[in-house]
């Protein structure tokens, strides 16, 4: 196991970004950058043993700084949407920036995904890198001085784990996720509609309309195209005449993952690339998973000049439910002052012959 660090170019402000390569015993490796604490590369063997990069992204820091698709980034302080860009904590109202119609998406234009995080620790033994970020009181409109750490680790059995830790001096929202887009056939292999995907969720949180704010219901997936419990080809019903899919242009919904209990990690989803045979298993201790099929990708110029089109990657963003800060029926994403935020999500790769 080993970790190597190199330059990843300069940010617009002239600061140096870095890339860290974590390699395991099998020769599989991942690359992460301090810019947005983003996951840049996940190189795993396909069924012929050929290393295949299964995440979409850019070649240089500049792409991550300018991009609009959140490739591989850590999203914070709150991922997903907040209705009318407004929250209330302890009876006080805080106004965030509306950047998705009247709503707030991924915390607004000044997201953590464009910030240069600090290097907290490189652990050669554990094959991990930890990034740290200070988000002051009032940052993005949120209360509380928040300090966060995100640790990426690659194990010898091809598991990429992401641990999130944080604490604040005032009650605040903390709902971090990773926004990697996966294509298990390879990041430049086009549509993911032939991938097989299973999500262990018997219910999802339907959205009101294309603004994508949940209605508050927990709706059964039974007899709908949202039933991914047993697994199916992503494209099978993605364009079905079904309101929830039509209004988002495909899957872009939060699934209510089975077996949620604070602090307990369980497998919530599985996927397989049809051509590479590469498989992925997602585990988390969080209650929800936004399954997003890259419906809004539209010509981003990525790695090696490859152009990403609609549905060329899918995201599995583990999270507290969208708009949960404003919805009393949902598990709260509010972190109390002095308490520690601690969650983890992992992606374990394998191959099916
Ligand atoms: C959202 C999509 C959004 C995308 C932006 C996802 O988390 O669910 O609606 O377009 O992020 O890349």
Contact 2, 23 (CB under 8 A): yes
Residue 267, pLDDT > 80, answer yes
pLDDT tens for 182-218 read 999 999 999 999 999 999 999 999 999 999 999 999 9
Reported confidence tier of residue 6, pLDDT bands at 50, 70, 90: very high
pLDDT score, position 331: 97
pLDDT tens for 117-169 read 999 999 999 999 999 999 999 999 999 999 999 999 999 999 999 999 999 99
pLDDT score, position 33: 98
Reported confidence tier of residue 353, pLDDT bands at 50, 70, 90: confident
Partner residues linked to 290 by β-bridges: 254, 317
Coarse DSSP helix, strand, coil percentages of the chain, rounded to the nearest 5 percent:
10, 45, 50
Mean pLDDT of the chain: 98
The conformational region for residue 108 under phi > 0 = left, psi -120 to 50 = alpha, else beta, is left
Contact 171, 143 (CB under 8 A): yes
* Residue with tokens 């086009």, as numbered in its chain: 190
Over residues 82-100, the mean pLDDT reads: 98
- Work out whether strand 16-23 and strand 2-10 pair parallel, antiparallel, or are unpaired: antiparallel
Q: What residue ranges in 191-256 does DSSP mark as E strands?
A: 196-199, 203-205, 219-220, 232-233, 252-256
CA–CA separation, 268 vs 287, rounded Å?
9
Is any atom of ligand 1 closer than 6 Å to the C-beta of 314? no
CA–CA separation, 86 vs 120, rounded Å?
32
**Count of CB atoms within 10 A of residue 274's CB?**
15
Helix/strand/coil for 150: strand
Domain ranges of the chain: 2-351
CA–CA separation, 219 vs 201, rounded Å?
10
Is any atom of ligand 1 closer than 6 Å to the C-beta of 252? yes
Partner residues linked to 3 by β-bridges: 22
Helix/strand/coil for 304: helix
CA–CA separation, 160 vs 183, rounded Å?
16
Half-sphere exposure of 140 (CA within 13 A, CB side): 32
Contact 275, 189 (CB under 8 A): yes
Atom 12 (ligand 1): residue with closest C-alpha?
69
pLDDT score, position 189: 98
The DSSP 8-state label assigned to residue 142 in this structure reads -
The percentage of the chain sitting over the pLDDT mark of 90, rounded to a whole number, equals 99
pLDDT score, position 1: 73
Contact 150, 122 (CB under 8 A): no
* Residue with tokens 């015993």, as numbered in its chain: 25
Contact 254, 220 (CB under 8 A): no
Residue 70, pLDDT > 80, answer yes
Q: How far is the CA of 353 from the centre of ligand 1 (A)?
A: 32
pLDDT score, position 112: 98
Q: Within its chain, how far is the Cα of 48 from the centroid?
A: 28
Is any atom of ligand 1 closer than 6 Å to the C-beta of 33? no
65 is catalytic: no
Contact 214, 287 (CB under 8 A): no
253 is catalytic: no
CA–CA separation, 63 vs 12, rounded Å?
11
The enclosing H or E element of 248 equals helix 243-248
Q: What are the backbone angles phi and psi of residue 44, rounded to the nearest 5°?
A: -125, 150
* Residue with tokens 């995080």, as numbered in its chain: 117
Class of domain 2-351: mainly beta
pLDDT score, position 123: 98
CA–CA separation, 301 vs 303, rounded Å?
7
- Sign of the C-alpha dihedral, residues 32, 33, 38, 40? negative
* Ligand 1 pocket test, candidate residues 296, 313, 322, most atoms within 8 A of CB: 296
CA–CA separation, 330 vs 256, rounded Å?
10
The percentage of the chain sitting over the pLDDT mark of 70, rounded to a whole number, equals 100
Say if residue 125 is preceded by a cis peptide, omega within 30 of 0.
Answer: no
The DSSP 8-state label assigned to residue 303 in this structure reads G
Over residues 77-101, the mean pLDDT reads: 98
* Ligand 1 pocket test, candidate residues 178, 213, 292, most atoms within 8 A of CB: 292
Q: How far is the CA of 342 from the centre of ligand 1 (A)?
A: 24
């Amino acid at each position: 196991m080993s970790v190597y660090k190199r330059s990843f170019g300069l940010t617009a402000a002239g600061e140096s970004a870095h890339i860290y390569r974590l390699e395991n015993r099998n020769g599989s490796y991942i690359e992460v950058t301090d810019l947005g604490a983003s996951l840049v590369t996940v190189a795993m063997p396909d069924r012929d043993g050929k290393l295949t990069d299964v995440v979409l992204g850019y070649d240089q820091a500049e792409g991550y700084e300018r991009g609009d698709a959140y490739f591989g980034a850590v999203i914070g302080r709150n991922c997903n949407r907040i209705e009318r860009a407004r929250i209330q904590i302890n009876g006080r109202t805080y106004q965030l920036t509306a950047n998705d119609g009247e709503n707030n998406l991924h915390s607004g234009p000044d997201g953590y995904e464009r910030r240069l995080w600090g290097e907290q620790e490189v652990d050669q033994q554990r094959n991990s890198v930890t990034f740290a970020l200070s988000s002051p009181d009032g940052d993005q409109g949120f209360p509380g001085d928040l300090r966060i750490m995100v640790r990426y680790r690659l194990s010898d059995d091809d598991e990429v784990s992401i641990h999130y830790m944080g604490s604040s001096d005032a009650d605040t929202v903390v709902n971090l996720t990773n926004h990697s887009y996966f294509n298990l056939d390879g990041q430049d292999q086009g549509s993911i509609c032939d991938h097989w995907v299973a999500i262990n969720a018997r219910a999802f949180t339907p959205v009101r309309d294309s603004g994508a704010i949940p209605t508050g219901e927990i709706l059964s997936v039974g007899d709908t195209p949202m039933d991914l419990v047993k697994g199916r080809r992503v494209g099978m019903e993605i364009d079905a005449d079904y309101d929830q899919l039509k209004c988002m242009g495909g899957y872009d919904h939060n699934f209510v993952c089975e077996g949620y209990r604070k602090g307990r990690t369980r497998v919530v989803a599985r996927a397989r690339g049809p051509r590479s045979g590469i498989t992925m298993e997602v585990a988390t201790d969080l209650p929800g998973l936004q399954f997003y099929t890259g419906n809004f990708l539209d010509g981003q110029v990525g790695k090696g000049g490859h152009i990403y089109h609609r549905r060329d990657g899918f995201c599995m963003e583990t999270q507290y439910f969208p708009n949960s800060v404003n919805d009393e029926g949902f598990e709260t994403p509010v972190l109390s002052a002095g308490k520690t935020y601690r969650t983890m999500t992992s992606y374990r790769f394998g191959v099916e012959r």
